[in-house]
């Protein structure tokens, strides 16, 4: 004979589980428990949500939990235990639920969709986080600076800026980070060389998923971040922010050695090398060292012979974009320093003549101080050079200065 239910119209919440004995019952919040053998225990555990009781605490960090199995699961963070592994890629997880969500990457399953924009997600947590974009809700705010966040984890990491806490360090180089799951893990790809995210358009691989996402915009042409001042559009919000400093004049990164200020931290870092003498990028062909990878790459073209920038007027090619794109808007004199071969003269003059600049063939009547019209003493006699993209140019009357062999732009006055 089944036991009779305890009849009570409005049970006291904190005592209801004691009055239900072993019969089906309900928590005052509406949740129902139906298994007689575990009713008392299950209801009691459930009511800790309402009472705030958390009897199980972690001896590593002091965090408390309502159930013993939740404590055990939490402790895997400290032990590093990840007992659940993906049979597709071998990635491991400390929770079965995390493995299940991860496997949707392989199956393509995205069962949770946003009712505002139709975007789909692999988990309810990701959907919920996404929906804050539509509501504009940022419920977590920093009590130090007032900055708001959509997630508690974002606030927690942000607060380490104020506390200076960087609890996660790289065991390869000692660099420290505020987050183990994101910053440290991404950094460690530098040491391992792992680049697990590959572009299906061109095959280029990346260490981070967000880097691949940004790269995809090269192929799609997507530039979603537009400047409200000039209309220029950018692939990333950070690029837009940096660009906007050209309108505001903001230069937030200042050198503590000389006071020069810069729009980006990267530019300041490169500038610092002037003071430190650091030249970390070395050519493996000749040993010359440079302050930036860009300068090294340009230099290496000397060895490879690569000349990627070609003039569409005459077909001449150059190692640097600046050599091709020099724009001269007024009449110019061009300096030549003891060039004996016409090929060398061709290289020097091309940047001015090829760009459509007017090269003066007038001699002493336009000469300024320090001008030497006697080119014969430099071993360069008066002769004419034919350019495919320009009129005939008289070399004998060009300005000669004792400067490195690059173009000297000199606007005529009057």
Residue 28 has pLDDT above 60, yes or no: yes
Higher-confidence residue of 381 and 328: namely 381
Task: Label residue 45 by pLDDT band (50, 70, 90).
Answer: confident
Q: Check pLDDT > 80 for residue 313.
A: no
339 domain-assigned: yes
Residue percentage of the chain with pLDDT more than 70: 68
Residue 364 lies in a domain: yes
Question: Span 88-117, mean pLDDT?
Answer: 91
Instruction: Name the band, by pLDDT with cuts 50, 70 and 90, for residue 400.
Output: very low
Name the helix (H) or strand (E) containing 42: helix 39-51
What is d(CA 390, CA 404) in angstroms, rounded to the nearest whole number? 24
Q: Is residue 337 domain-resident?
A: yes
Identify each DSSP E strand in 126-224 by its residue range. Answer: 140-141, 148-149, 168-169, 176-177, 197-198, 205-206
Name the residue range of residue 388's domain. 328-397
The answer to whether residue 389 is domain-embedded is yes
User: What pLDDT is stored for residue 160 in this prediction?
Assistant: 87
40 pLDDT tier (thresholds 50, 70, 90) = low
First to last CA, the chain: 117
Task: Tell me how many domains the chain contains.
Answer: 2
**Inside any domain, residue 128:** no
Q: Do the domain assignments include residue 132?
A: no
Q: Per the confidence metrics, is the pTM higher than 0.85?
A: no
Mean pLDDT of 275-303: 93
> Of 25 and 93, which is predicted with more confidence?
93
Over 50: is that where the pLDDT of 271 sits? yes
pLDDT in the model for residue 111 = 93
Identify whether 68 is part of a domain: no
| Residue 92 domain-assigned (yes or no) | no
Please report, rounded to a whole number, the percentage of residues in the chain having pLDDT higher than 90: 30
Average confidence (pLDDT) over 187-207: 87
- What is the reported pLDDT for 300? 94
Q: Pick the residue with more confidence: 43 or 129?
A: 129
| Distance set, CA 2 to CA 11, 16, 135, 142, 243 (Å) | 22, 20, 51, 56, 75
Asked if the model's pLDDT at residue 286 lies above 80, the reply is yes
Tell me the three state secondary structure of residue 154. Answer: helix
Q: Select, from the ranges 119-133, 173-187, 354-368, the one with the highest average predicted confidence (pLDDT).
A: 119-133
- In our burial notation (b when 16+ CB lie closer than 10 A, e otherwise), range 116-153 reads eeeeebbbeeebeebbeeeeeeeebeeeeeeeebbeee
């Amino acid at each position: 004979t089944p036991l009779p239910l305890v009849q009570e119209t409005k049970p006291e919440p904190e005592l209801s589980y004691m009055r239900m004995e072993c019969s089906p019952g309900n928590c005052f919040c509406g949740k129902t428990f139906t298994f007689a053998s575990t009713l008392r225990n299950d209801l009691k555990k459930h009511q800790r949500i309402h009472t705030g009781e958390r009897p199980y605490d972690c001896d590593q960090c002091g965090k408390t939990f309502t159930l013993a199995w939740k404590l055990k699961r939490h402790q895997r963070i400290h032990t590093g235990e990840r007992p659940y592994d993906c049979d597709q890629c071998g990635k491991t997880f400390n929770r079965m639920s995390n493995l299940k969500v991860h496997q949707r990457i392989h199956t393509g399953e995205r069962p949770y969709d946003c009712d505002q924009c139709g975007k789909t997600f692999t988990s309810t947590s990701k959907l919920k986080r996404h929906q804050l974009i539509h509501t504009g809700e940022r419920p977590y705010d920093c009590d130090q600076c007032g900055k708001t966040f959509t997630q508690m984890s974002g606030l927690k990491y942000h607060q380490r800026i104020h506390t200076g806490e960087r609890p996660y360090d790289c065991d390869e180089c000692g660099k420290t980070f505020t987050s183990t799951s994101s910053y440290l893990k991404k950094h460690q790809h530098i040491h391992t060389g792992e680049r697990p995210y590959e572009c299906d358009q061109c095959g280029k691989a990346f260490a981070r998923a967000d880097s691949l996402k940004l790269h995809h915009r090269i192929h799609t042409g997507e530039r979603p971040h537009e400047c409200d001042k000039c209309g220029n559009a950018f692939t990333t919000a950070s690029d837009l922010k940096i660009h906007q400093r050209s309108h505001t004049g903001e230069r937030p990164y200042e050198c503590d050695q000389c006071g020069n200020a810069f729009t980006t931290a990267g530019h300041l870092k490169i500038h610092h090398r002037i003071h430190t003498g650091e030249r970390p990028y070395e050519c493996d062909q000749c040993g010359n060292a440079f302050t930036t990878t860009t300068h090294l790459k340009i230099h290496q073209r000397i060895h490879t012979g690569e000349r990627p920038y070609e003039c569409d007027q005459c077909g001449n090619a150059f190692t640097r974009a600046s050599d091709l794109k020099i724009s001269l808007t007024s009449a110019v004199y061009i300096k030549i320093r003891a060039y004996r071969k016409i090929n060398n003269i061709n290289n020097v003059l091309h940047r001015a003549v090829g760009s459509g600049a007017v090269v003066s063939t007038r001699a002493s009547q336009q000469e300024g101080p320090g001008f030497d019209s006697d080119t014969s003493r430099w071993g360069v006699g008066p002769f004419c050079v034919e350019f495919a993209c320009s009129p005939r140019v008289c070399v004998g009357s060009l300005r000669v200065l004792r400067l490195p062999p690059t173009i000297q732009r000199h606007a005529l006055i009057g």
